[in-house]
């Protein structure tokens, strides 16, 4: 009987050790960055106060190497074959992908985040960064075939879809009332840090 108890105990100990090592590995992984979308309320030193789109007051500690980029509106016709774009899409009634927004990357940002992945802008939304391979102009917008390293996707871009691009900006553009998207991570003490902020120009709310 003692031998039988030992036989049953060993697998349980092994499972416990595997579970403990898995939890330790998860704990050692760096926190996933997230996004805070909202309106700048104030800047005090390295602290950026934002009223989120959900109405929450959020304080973000800006890093010393903070990167600020501007977002400005362009037209749908500025999307050309060969453009490297990002687009947030949601499934249409017929299963096709419909663009919620499109942002055209300048040439020096080509390849940024290439691929397609789930996104947090809307339920069931997807972010795809890819090169425009084909563009068909219709009465109600464009249909784009975009290609990335692991595949391709056909995207319908309705005429009313906001289209934007990136322009130069700096910390001085983070003024009260500016609309921003801050890329953040949670620090061990629970505070939030940001090293990258996109700010809308001329009152624009970054649509992505």
Cβ neighbours of residue 206 under 8 Å, at least 6 residues apart? Answer: 37, 71, 164, 179, 180, 181, 198, 199, 200
Q: Is 70 exceeded by the pLDDT of residue 5?
A: no
Convert the pLDDT of each residue in 63-122 to its tens digit.
Answer: 999 999 999 999 999 999 999 999 999 998 888 899 999 999 999 999 999 999 999 999
Domain-located, residue 206? no
pLDDT tier, 9 (very low <50, low <70, confident <90, very high otherwise): very low
Domain-located, residue 208? no
Whichever domain contains 187, its CATH number is 2.40.50.140
> What is the pTM assigned to this prediction?
0.78
The verdict on 131 and 187 lying in the same domain is no
* Cα(103)–Cα(181) distance, integer angstroms: 14
SS (H, E, C) 131-165: EEEEEEEECCEEEEEEEECCEEEEEEEECCCCEEE
Residue 50: which domain range? 35-71+166-200
The verdict on 113 and 144 lying in the same domain is yes
The verdict on 118 and 47 lying in the same domain is no
The verdict on 66 and 101 lying in the same domain is no
What integer pLDDT is reported at residue 111 of this predicted model? 96
Domain total in the chain: 3
């Amino acid at each position: 009987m003692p031998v039988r108890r030992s036989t049953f105990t060993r697998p349980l100990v092994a499972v416990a050790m595997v579970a403990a090592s898995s939890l330790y590995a998860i704990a050692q992984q760096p926190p996933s960055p997230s996004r805070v979308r909202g309106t700048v309320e104030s800047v005090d030193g390295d602290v950026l106060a934002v009223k989120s789109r959900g109405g929450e007051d959020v304080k973000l500690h800006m890093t010393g190497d903070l990167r600020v980029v501007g977002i400005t509106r362009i037209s749908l016709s500025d999307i050309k074959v060969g453009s490297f774009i990002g687009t947030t899409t949601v499934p249409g009634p017929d299963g096709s992908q419909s663009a919620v927004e499109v942002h055209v990357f300048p040439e020096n940002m080509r390849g940024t985040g290439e691929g397609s992945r789930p996104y947090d802008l809307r339920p069931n939304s997807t972010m795809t960064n890819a090169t425009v391979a084909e563009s068909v102009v219709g009465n109600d917008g464009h249909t784009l075939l975009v290609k990335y390293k692991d595949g391709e996707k056909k995207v319908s871009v309705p005429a009313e879809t906001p289209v934007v691009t990136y322009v130069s900006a700096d910390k001085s553009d983070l003024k009260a009332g500016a609309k921003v998207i801050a890329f953040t991570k949670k620090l061990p003490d629970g505070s939030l840090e940001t090293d990258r902020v996109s700010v809308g120009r001329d009152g624009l709310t970054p649509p992505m």
